[in-house]
Chains A and B, each alone.
Chain A
Amino acid sequence: MVKTKTRRVTITGTAMLLCLGLVTAGSSIVSAGAASAKVPGVTAHQITIGATEPVTGIASSGYNQVAKAANAVFKYVNSHGGVWSRKIKYVIKDDCYGTPGFGCTGVPSTASQTHALLGIPVFATVGSLGTPTQDSVRALLKGDGVPQLFVASGSRDWNNAHVYPGLFGWQPSYNEESKIFAKYIKATFPSANVCFLGQSDDFGQDGLAGLVAGGIKPLSADLYSVPDLVATTGASIAPYVADFQSKKCTVVVMDTIPGATDAALGAALQLGYAPQWVISSVGSDPQTVDAPFVGKVPTDPEIGAITFSYLPTTTTSSAWIPWITKVIEADPADFPGFTSSSVLNGNIAYGAAYGVSFVEALKATGKNLTRASFLKTLQSVTFSQTPSLVPLRYSSSNHQGLNSGYITTVISASATKPLTGIVYTADSSTDGRVTVVKTLSHGIPSWLK
């Protein structure tokens, strides 16, 4: 009897609970439709944007500072009244570069973290990092009408305005960078044996294509896999370097992330191999690359390497260097210990630069901010006062972003300097044409100082 009574009570209780849920359901669904036509992520006093970044995990070294640097710019702008009286709130979600399990907090994926951002909601994603990671959420963001701005990657995937009207790149493509490298190598090392090591995705493939289009035919062109790099803690790179040595390559071009750059430089040290390194801007930041060698070798093996920059280096007199330094110093929460005498690294400069680009685009859009008005502004205005060497310019058919920069060389464990200071440009077409840029950026806008 007791059991029967218990069951009856359970059934009735469950039924009542479900009834309650049903009533809530009705009201919830009704209220869901009551949402107004407000712009998601935008209020009169705030604009909320987001990004997925490798805050932890295999790609976090160095890259974990990128979004924080952009946020430091937003905090600085907020402390000076915001843009059109709106403060910028930047929500950074850790996607672990889509590689859970290697020192990641939790088991996040780019898709799940992007869903979390969309649930806030955000006006746009700005500066989310990585080619495969951002490729994987293009359809998701497009489906929800969320702009995917200034993707931190040089893939050409971001320049597809017809299919993804809300998707915008920012930095020069790997392909363009390689064409400029090719011009430099042909002029400086005309009889060199050139070898190539790249990442097994758009990074390496587009870079190699650019090199070939620029007239360089590598004796050996290898593509490494990131999971293999991680699984072997860098050892998977050594055979490629040994191969380059055996083929007597005197110039090695690398489209590598910093971890792979370190592995290649380390392997070459062990083999007693010293080619002329030509390293993509993505994997050459001196501070990040030097870190594993500190205390182990007397001299940073990257010194003397050739690299590329589309931002002013810390050794130039650009007004942006002290400005970014000031902004970063004003954010001790995210950059503890950073002082006016600290040297900016490439990752911080990168984050600050796209942060400024976003702020300028917001400013140019005006007070009546909508996603459509912002994208229209982005495609029609030339942003000539951003930290990049040349103005940032998009059009309705070109969403790649920057396409120019100069050749630099690593001069110490913390700095690079321009070789000639001549800024070159290329495009992502199949020809290897590289031309000199005459119109450069103007400097800091007065309202941002």
Chain B
Amino acid sequence: MKFAGTRRRVPIAMGVAVVATVVALVSTTTSREGVALSVAFDLAVACGLILSLPSFKLSHPVVSRAALTLLGLDVAIFITFFLNSSTNFNLATGAAMSIVLLGLSFLTGASGQISLGNGAFMGVGAFAMAIWANHHTTTPIVATLLIAVVCGALVGLLLGLPATRLRGPYLAGMTLAFAVAFTFILSTFSSWTGGDSGLQLPTAAIAPRWLDGFFHAGTPPLTTTTLYLTDVAIIVAGVAFFFMANLFASRTGRSMRLIRDNDVAAELVGVSLPRTRVVAFIVSSAYAALGGALLTLIDNSVSPPTYSFALSVTILSLIVIGGIGTISGALIGGVIYAFSTNVISWITTQTGLNPQGNLASQLNGIIFGGLLILTMLFAPFGITGAARSLWHRLRARSPG
């Protein structure tokens, strides 16, 4: 059956790719656009083909995940070409936040540790990015992002070492203290962090010239630059998700889940508790720092109030709503974060609420709080858990 299915899929995929190539070349005005779009589409078809082979998934899980990442990136980048700048900017913000959420999801979901300080870790990356960029203007963006990640990991290590002796509420208390102290730390080192004004990147990111080939002359630079930043954020998020998916499935990931479920049993089978916990903490901090650094790149600036304790609480809420310990939960949380302002603004407009009234100005808390309560009551594993549960029920009912 497998081989028969494969035999059918290959010609179908090839046919679709040929049709897509023809349509892309005919419907676009320059050959460059047509070639680029058809390549993008064909890549998606190829990835889809690989993923549709169950035997391949089993024999080559890493390649399969890479193909899935490529497919996701391909489709996401493809979609960004049709969105306006504002929506793309929100998507970029959501992509950056989803990386942070993924880090926390890993820490909490896989290793069972609770952190209330990921907003501050995010701030470490955001400020590291801005400070380095201001002192070393020629460093490429990718290198600056990596430096920010290293800074986040180092701070994670620093806090992670004592965290090996703490569990549950005590660990949460320690990370809470870091989150609360973070803005004070920033103001203490105001000569580095710019005080309340924060920092701006010395040069704004500008879209590479080849991207202009997709647009006609006269297109505002905002459109191309925002598209470029959005796609950079999506690609970075894709790479981060790919690594995390592999880490989840790796020996380290399994060790962490074992510690989460039964640390005594984990020790008995030879898992090093302190080492594994520190690794989880470092990974989580590094991911938070990467998300923060990306936000600095997207916003072209960083401001201390953004990284207050409230952000850490928001991050925790988002990951609970999206689904702790799942990759898709982080993605859902990122999207909720990015578009919540639009949704709340829409609600305020539609209901005619006074934006400064007590109700409207607290809508953020009301909606997030309400979602949290509903999640706890009806979907303890978040939106992802609820969706999975629904899917399993539907499959159980289907006759096949």
Q: Is A274 an interface residue (CB 8 A)?
A: no
Measured as residues with beta carbon below 8 angstroms from the partner, the interface class of chain B is: 35 or more
> A56 contacts B45, CB within 8 Å?
no
The distance in angstroms between the C-alpha atoms of A208 and B5, with both chains bound, is 77
A29-B33, A105-B345, A225-B187 as given contacts; A22 in contact with B27, CB under 8 Å = yes
> A2 contacts B400, CB within 8 Å?
yes
> B308 contacts A19, CB within 8 Å?
no
The distance in angstroms between the C-alpha atoms of A140 and B89, with both chains bound, is 12
> A225 contacts B5, CB within 8 Å?
no
Q: Is B218 an interface residue (CB 8 A)?
A: yes
The distance in angstroms between the C-alpha atoms of A107 and B363, with both chains bound, is 11
Q: Is A25 an interface residue (CB 8 A)?
A: yes
> A230 contacts B308, CB within 8 Å?
yes
Q: Is B245 an interface residue (CB 8 A)?
A: no
> B204 contacts A139, CB within 8 Å?
yes
The distance in angstroms between the C-alpha atoms of A111 and B85, with both chains bound, is 12
Q: Is A98 an interface residue (CB 8 A)?
A: yes
The distance in angstroms between the C-alpha atoms of A112 and B195, with both chains bound, is 22
> A56 contacts B356, CB within 8 Å?
yes
A22-B23, A26-B27 as given contacts; A106 in contact with B204, CB under 8 Å = no
Min distance, Cβ A338 to any Cβ of chain B, angstroms: 15
> A116 contacts B86, CB within 8 Å?
yes
The distance in angstroms between the C-alpha atoms of A223 and B190, with both chains bound, is 10
Min distance, Cβ A227 to any Cβ of chain B, angstroms: 4
By a CB distance below 8 angstroms, the chain A residues around B226 are 115
Residue of B nearest to A10 (CB): B52
> A136 contacts B23, CB within 8 Å?
no
Interface membership of chain B positions 324-368, coded 1 if the CB is closer than 8 angstroms to chain A and 0 otherwise: 000000000000010011111100100000011000111111000
By a CB distance below 8 angstroms, the chain B residues around A55 are 355-356
By a CB distance below 8 angstroms, the chain B residues around A113 are 341
| Cβ contact of A228, chosen from B8, B184, B345, cutoff 8 A | B184
Contacting residues of chain A (4-19) with chain B, CB-CB under 8 angstroms: 4, 6-8, 11-12, 14-15, 18-19
Q: Is B303 an interface residue (CB 8 A)?
A: yes
By a CB distance below 8 angstroms, the chain A residues around B400 are 2-3, 6
> A22 contacts B305, CB within 8 Å?
no
Q: Is B215 an interface residue (CB 8 A)?
A: yes
The number of residues on chain A lying at the interface, defined by a beta carbon within 8 Å of a beta carbon of chain B, is 79
Min distance, Cβ A43 to any Cβ of chain B, angstroms: 18
> A200 contacts B196, CB within 8 Å?
yes
> B204 contacts A100, CB within 8 Å?
no
Mark the stretch among A31-39, A261-269, A356-364, A425-433 that contacts chain B: A31-39
> B221 contacts A30, CB within 8 Å?
no
By a CB distance below 8 angstroms, the chain A residues around B250 are none
Contacting residues of chain B (51-92) with chain A, CB-CB under 8 angstroms: 52, 75, 78-79, 81-82, 84-87, 89-90
Q: Is B9 an interface residue (CB 8 A)?
A: yes
> A119 contacts B305, CB within 8 Å?
no
Q: Is A145 an interface residue (CB 8 A)?
A: yes
Contacting residues of chain A (385-422) with chain B, CB-CB under 8 angstroms: none
Mark the stretch among B109-117, B294-302, B383-391 that contacts chain A: B294-302
A4-B5, A27-B27 as given contacts; A136 in contact with B301, CB under 8 Å = yes
Where chain B touches its partner, the secondary structure class is helix
Min distance, Cβ A134 to any Cβ of chain B, angstroms: 10
| Cβ contact of A33, chosen from B78, B215, B343, cutoff 8 A | B215
The distance in angstroms between the C-alpha atoms of A142 and B362, with both chains bound, is 34
| Cβ contact of A19, chosen from B23, B305, B310, B360, cutoff 8 A | B23
By a CB distance below 8 angstroms, the chain A residues around B24 are 22, 26
Interface membership of chain B positions 1-25, coded 1 if the CB is closer than 8 angstroms to chain A and 0 otherwise: 1001100110011001001100110
Q: Is B314 an interface residue (CB 8 A)?
A: yes
> A8 contacts B300, CB within 8 Å?
no
> B305 contacts A99, CB within 8 Å?
yes
By a CB distance below 8 angstroms, the chain B residues around A115 are 85-86, 89-90, 222, 226
> B364 contacts A143, CB within 8 Å?
no
Chain B CB within 10 Å — which of A8, A30, A106, A112 has the most? Answer: A106
Q: Is B139 an interface residue (CB 8 A)?
A: no
> B187 contacts A200, CB within 8 Å?
yes
Min distance, Cβ A121 to any Cβ of chain B, angstroms: 8
> B195 contacts A231, CB within 8 Å?
no
Min distance, Cβ A3 to any Cβ of chain B, angstroms: 6
By a CB distance below 8 angstroms, the chain A residues around B180 are 231
Min distance, Cβ A23 to any Cβ of chain B, angstroms: 5
By a CB distance below 8 angstroms, the chain B residues around A275 are none
By a CB distance below 8 angstroms, the chain A residues around B216 are 29-30, 32-34
Interface membership of chain A positions 112-148, coded 1 if the CB is closer than 8 angstroms to chain B and 0 otherwise: 1101101100000000000111011111100111000
Q: Is A339 an interface residue (CB 8 A)?
A: no
A30-B29, A105-B355 as given contacts; A19 in contact with B196, CB under 8 Å = no
Known: A33-B29, A223-B195, A228-B184. 5 other contacts (CB 8 A): A25-B81, A105-B361, A105-B363, A145-B221, A225-B196
> A-B pairs with the 4 shortest C-beta distances?
A33-B216, A101-B310, A26-B27, A106-B341
Report B's interface with A, CB cutoff 8 A: 1, 4-5, 8-9, 12-13, 16, 19-20, 23-24, 27-29, 33, 37, 41, 44-45, 48-49, 52, 75, 78-79, 81-82, 84-87, 89-90, 93, 180, 183-184, 186-187, 190, 194-198, 200, 204, 206, 214-223, 225-226, 298-301, 303-306, 308-311, 313-314, 337, 340-345, 348, 355-356, 360-365, 399-400
